[in-house]
C-alpha cells in the first residue's frame, strides 16, 4: 500500500475543521476584532510621551542663549537679560554667577561651550584666549601659540578620550578660515592651508584622527549669479584628518556643493561607528565617513541632540508638530502631542532628559523638557497598549492551542 502524505495532511485538516466548536470560531472572530481595535488605539497614542513645558529655572526674564549639561544635577548656562550677559553654574538646584557684569571676563563673548572628558568646560575669550571652568571656578587655559595670531571660532576634544587632543576652528590673521590642532601640552599645530571659499562654523570629533566640520560656501564676487551684497548661503561639510603634532590638519573629503541647496548646518551628531547625522535648517544628512556616501533626508530642523541609546533627535521651530528620530537602522517622524510652543535658542541633554530653551509667543523664557526614557516605556500610552496587545494575543493563542490539543485527544 502506497503512502500519500498529501492525503494524510488533508485528513488532519479535515479533522481539525470538523471538530472545531462554535466557541473556537467565536474566539477567532473576537481576536480579529481585538487586532483592529488595538491598531486604532495604538495609532491614537502615537504621540511622543514625556514632554513638559516648564518655567525657566533662572527666571522668566532670563533667556538661555547657550547650555551645557554635565549630568542631571549640574549644568552651565549663558543667560541674557536687558542687554546683560551672565554665565551661570547650576549645581543641585543652587545657581552661582561665574561671569557677571562686574567680572574681569566678558560673558557676551561666549559663542560656544566645550565640555571636556573630566566634566570641566572651555569657553572662549578675546582673540585666541580661553578659560577653563570646573565646579564653577575659573582657571586660565594655558596654551602656546608661538607668534601666531588668530581667533577661535569653535573647539572640540577628541571624542575617544584616548588622548587629550583638541581641534580648533580658527580665523587667521589674514581673515581666512582654517583648522589648528591643539595637543595636551598646549602646543598648537600650523593652520590648514586655505580652502575653497568656505566659512567654517562647527567641528565635531569622530575618532582619534577623524573630525567632521560644517560651514557655508561663499563664492567669489565674480563667480555665480548671486548678488555680492546678498550671496546665497550654501551648506558645506567635510572630513578633517589630524592625529597630533605640528602638522596642520588636512581636509580629506569635501562634500560636493549643491548650488540648489540654501541653508546652514546647526548640529553634528556622532551616533554610531560609521555614520554621523549632519542636521540643517534645510534638510538632514546621514553621512557615512568610511565610504564618504550620504543619504539626504527631507527634514529641516533648528536643534539636534543625541541620546544614550544611539539615537538622534531633531526638532523644528515654533508651531511644528513633529520630531525626527534616527536610529542605527532607520528613521521615523514622530508626532508631538501639541505644537512646539517656543522658538528654540539652545538645547542640552543630561543623560535622560532633552532640554529645549527658548521663548514663547509672549517673549517669556521657557523650557521644553523631553524624557527620552518615556518613549516606548510601560508608563507611556503606546508602551502600555503594546504590552497589553502582546499579553492578550498570547492568552488567546494559548487558549486556541489548548482547544485544538483537546480535540485531537478525543
Segment 217-268, tens digit of pLDDT: 887 665 555 555 566 778 999 999 998 878 899 999 999 888 788 889 999 9
Asked if 318 contacts 297 with a C-beta cutoff of 8 angstroms, the reply is no
For the chain, give the mean pLDDT. Answer: 81
Q: Is the pLDDT of residue 3 over 80?
A: no
> Cell 514663547 identifies what position?
360
Query: Residue range 314-318: average pLDDT?
Result: 91
When comparing pLDDT for 257 and 194, which is higher? 257
DSSP summary character for residue 221: T
Residue 399 confidence (pLDDT) = 66
Q: Give 385's pLDDT tier (boundaries 50, 70, 90).
A: low
- Residue 130: count of CB within 10 angstroms of its CB: 19
Instruction: Give the sheet arrangement for strand 250-254, strand by strand.
Output: 198-205, 210-217, 234-241, 250-254
Residue pLDDT, tens place only, 365-379? 999 998 888 765 545
- Residue 267: count of CB within 10 angstroms of its CB: 22
Percent of the chain with pLDDT over 70: 75
Rg, the chain, Cα only: 28
Residue 18 confidence (pLDDT) = 52
Name the most confidently modeled range: 143-147, 187-191, 342-346, 406-410. 342-346
Asked if 384 contacts 378 with a C-beta cutoff of 8 angstroms, the reply is yes
Q: Is the pLDDT of residue 67 over 80?
A: yes
Amino acid at each position: 500500500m502506497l503512502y500519500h502524505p498529501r492525503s494524510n495532511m488533508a485528513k488532519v485538516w479535515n479533522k481539525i475543521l470538523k471538530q472545531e466548536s462554535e466557541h473556537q470560531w467565536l474566539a477567532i472572530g473576537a481576536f480579529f476584532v481585538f487586532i483592529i481595535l488595538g491598531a486604532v488605539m495604538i495609532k491614537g497614542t502615537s504621540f511622543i510621551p514625556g514632554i513638559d513645558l516648564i518655567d525657566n529655572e533662572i527666571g522668566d526674564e532670563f533667556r538661555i542663549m547657550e547650555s551645557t549639561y554635565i549630568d542631571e544635577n549640574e549644568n552651565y548656562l549663558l543667560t541674557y537679560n536687558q542687554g546683560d550677559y551672565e554665565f551661570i553654574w547650576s549645581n543641585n538646584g543652587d545657581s552661582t554667577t561665574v561671569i557677571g557684569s562686574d567680572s574681569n571676563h566678558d560673558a557676551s563673548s561666549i559663542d560656544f561651550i566645550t565640555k571636556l572628558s573630566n566634566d570641566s568646560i572651555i569657553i572662549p575669550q578675546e582673540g585666541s584666549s580661553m578659560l577653563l571652568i570646573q565646579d564653577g571656578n575659573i582657571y586660565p587655559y594655558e596654551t602656546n601659540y608661538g607668534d601666531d595670531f588668530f581667533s577661535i571660532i569653535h573647539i572640540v576634544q577628541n571624542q575617544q578620550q584616548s588622548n587629550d587632543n583638541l581641534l580648533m576652528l580658527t580665523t587667521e590673521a589674514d581673515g581666512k578660515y582654517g583648522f589648528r590642532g591643539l595637543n595636551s601640552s598646549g602646543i598648537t599645530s600650523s593652520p590648514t592651508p586655505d580652502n575653497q571659499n568656505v566659512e567654517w562654523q562647527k567641528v565635531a570629533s569622530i575618532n582619534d584622527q577623524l573630525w567632521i566640520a560644517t560651514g557655508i560656501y561663499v563664492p567669489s564676487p565674480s563667480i555665480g549669479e548671486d548678488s555680492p551684497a546678498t550671496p546665497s548661503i550654501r551648506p558645506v561639510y567635510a572630513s578633517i584628518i589630524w592625529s597630533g603634532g605640528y602638522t596642520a590638519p588636512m581636509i580629506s573629503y569635501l562634500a560636493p556643493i549643491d548650488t540648489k541647496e540654501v541653508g546652514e548646518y546647526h548640529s553634528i551628531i556622532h551616533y554610531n561607528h560609521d555614520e554621523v547625522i549632519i542636521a540643517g535648517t534645510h534638510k538632514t544628512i546621514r553621512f557615512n565617513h568610511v565610504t564618504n556616501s550620504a543619504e539626504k533626508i527631507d527634514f529641516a530642523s533648528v536643534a539636534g541632540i543625541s541620546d544614550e541609546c544611539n539615537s538622534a533627535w531633531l526638532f523644528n521651530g515654533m508651531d511644528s508638530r513633529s520630531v525626527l528620530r534616527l536610529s542605527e537602522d532607520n528613521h521615523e517622524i514622530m508626532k508631538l502631542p501639541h505644537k512646539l510652543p517656543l522658538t528654540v535658542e539652545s538645547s542640552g541633554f543630561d543623560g535622560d532628559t532633552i532640554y529645549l530653551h527658548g521663548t514663547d509667543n509672549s517673549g517669556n523664557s521657557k523650557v521644553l523638557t523631553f524624557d527620552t526614557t518615556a518613549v516606548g516605556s510601560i508608563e507611556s500610552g503606546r508602551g502600555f497598549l503594546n504590552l497589553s496587545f502582546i499579553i492578550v494575543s498570547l492568552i488567546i493563542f494559548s487558549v486556541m492551542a489548548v482547544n485544538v490539543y483537546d480535540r485531537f485527544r478525543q
